[in-house]
């Protein structure tokens, strides 16, 4: 079923697609705690493009190698002068996003669910990348912070869009204004973690495997419905539910889901 990943080898990101349709996407700049430099931004966006084209993809696990998920912006970038042809931040170069926002937003835009496995350090842009995932599994000792105000900046990698519905308004204000550090253990109560686990990668992979064993058309439809839930009115949500369900009902995969459940066997789905 699964097709091999086609992302060129590099020292920033790797992709491995398993036979079950689960892609393991790893940030591999471990010597710098996966900090975000210009090459890292480019390679993460490239990984998103590869995933969008990948046949047989059903779920993604996003993790970081080494001691950190992602330590945020590489501070050496502060001294870098922008190239003359670099777009302004206000230019929308990736649909509704600029390059820096796309690094986090692309996980929400991806058609399949993304589960982030977070450990070690998850600061600033790293936290916004993790927030782009559908689900976050966080080690209890992870160090986390909305770091930007420390450097006199505001969160600008999609955080404000991604944190809607996750983090209570006054809590988010405090964490942004103070850049207070918190632990993975605290993150679940604050809204940044779905689950806290001693082995985030194993738990994330287990959840991704369960998702990969569901009707892939229905999973993608559910993600589309979820994406519009906070922005649409009630009437529009009800109509979109009906449109998605009408497109799925009595299809080969939907019938297979029913038959596999009744026969107590593993389903065999056609890929999208």
C-alpha of 72 from chain center: 15
Yes or no: domain 216-263 corresponds to CATH 1.10.12.10: yes
SS3 (DSSP) at 168: coil
At 229, is the pLDDT very low, low, confident or very high (cuts 50, 70, 90)? very high
What whole-number distance in Å separates Cα of residue 25 and Cα of residue 28?
9
What whole-number distance in Å separates Cα of residue 83 and Cα of residue 125?
21
Q: Is the pLDDT of residue 84 over 90?
A: no
Bridge partner residues of 118 (DSSP)? 138
Task: Note the pLDDT tens digit of each residue in 180-224.
Answer: 999 999 999 999 999 999 999 999 999 999 999 999 999 999 999
Question: CB-based contacts of 135: which residues, under 8 Å, 6+ apart?
Answer: 113, 114, 115, 116, 194, 195, 204, 207
Least confident of 82-96, 173-187, 207-221, 255-269: 82-96
How far from 64 is each of 29, 69, 130, 184, 200, CA to CA, in Å? 8, 4, 10, 15, 11
What whole-number distance in Å separates Cα of residue 134 and Cα of residue 142?
19
How far from 229 is each of 26, 183, 215, CA to CA, in Å? 29, 29, 21
Instruction: Give pLDDT, residue 9.
Output: 59
Q: What is the mean pLDDT of residues 16-32?
A: 97
Instruction: Give pLDDT, residue 76.
Output: 79
- What 8-state DSSP symbol labels residue 269? P
Q: Where are the domains of the chain?
A: 13-212, 216-263
- What 8-state DSSP symbol labels residue 211? H
Question: CB-based contacts of 126: which residues, under 8 Å, 6+ apart?
Answer: 34, 36, 64, 68, 69, 70, 71, 72
Mean pLDDT of the chain: 94
The order of strands in the sheet holding 143-145 is 121-123, 143-145, 182-183
Instruction: Give pLDDT, residue 258.
Output: 96
Instruction: Give pLDDT, residue 8.
Output: 61
Superfamily of structural domain 13-212 = 2-enoyl-CoA Hydratase; Chain A, domain 1 (3.90.226.10)
């Amino acid at each position: 079923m699964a097709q091999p990943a086609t992302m060129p080898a590099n020292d920033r990101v790797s992709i491995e697609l398993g036979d079950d349709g689960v892609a393991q996407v790893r940030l591999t700049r471990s010597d710098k705690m996966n900090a975000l430099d210009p090459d890292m931004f480019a390679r993460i966006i490239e990984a998103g493009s590869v995933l969008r084209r990948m046949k047989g993809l059903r779920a993604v696990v996003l993790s970081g190698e080494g001691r950190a998920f992602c330590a945020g912006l590489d501070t050496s970038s502060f001294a870098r002068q922008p190239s003359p042809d670099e777009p302004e931040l206000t230019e929308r170069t990736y649909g509704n996003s600029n390059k820096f926002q796309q690094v986090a937003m692309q996980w929400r835009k991806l058609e399949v669910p993304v589960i982030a496995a977070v450990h070690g350090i998850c600061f600033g842009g790293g936290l916004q990348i993790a927030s782009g995932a559908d689900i976050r599994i966080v080690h209890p000792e992870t160090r986390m912070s909305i770091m930007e105000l420390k450097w006199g900046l505001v969160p600008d990698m999609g955080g404000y869009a991604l944190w809607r519905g996750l983090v209570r308004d006054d809590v988010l204000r405090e964490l942004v204004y103070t850049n207070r550090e918190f632990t993975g253990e605290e993150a679940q109560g604050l809204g940044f973690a779905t689950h806290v686990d001693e082995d985030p990668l194993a738990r994330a992979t287990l959840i991704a495997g369960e998702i990969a064993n569901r009707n892939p058309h229905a999973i993608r439809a559910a993600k589309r419905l979820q994406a519009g839930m906070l922005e649409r009115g009630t009437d529009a949500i009800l109509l979109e539910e009906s449109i998605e369900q009408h497109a799925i009902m009595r299809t080969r995969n939907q019938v297979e889901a029913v038959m596999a459940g009744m026969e107590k066997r593993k389903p065999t789905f056609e890929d999208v």
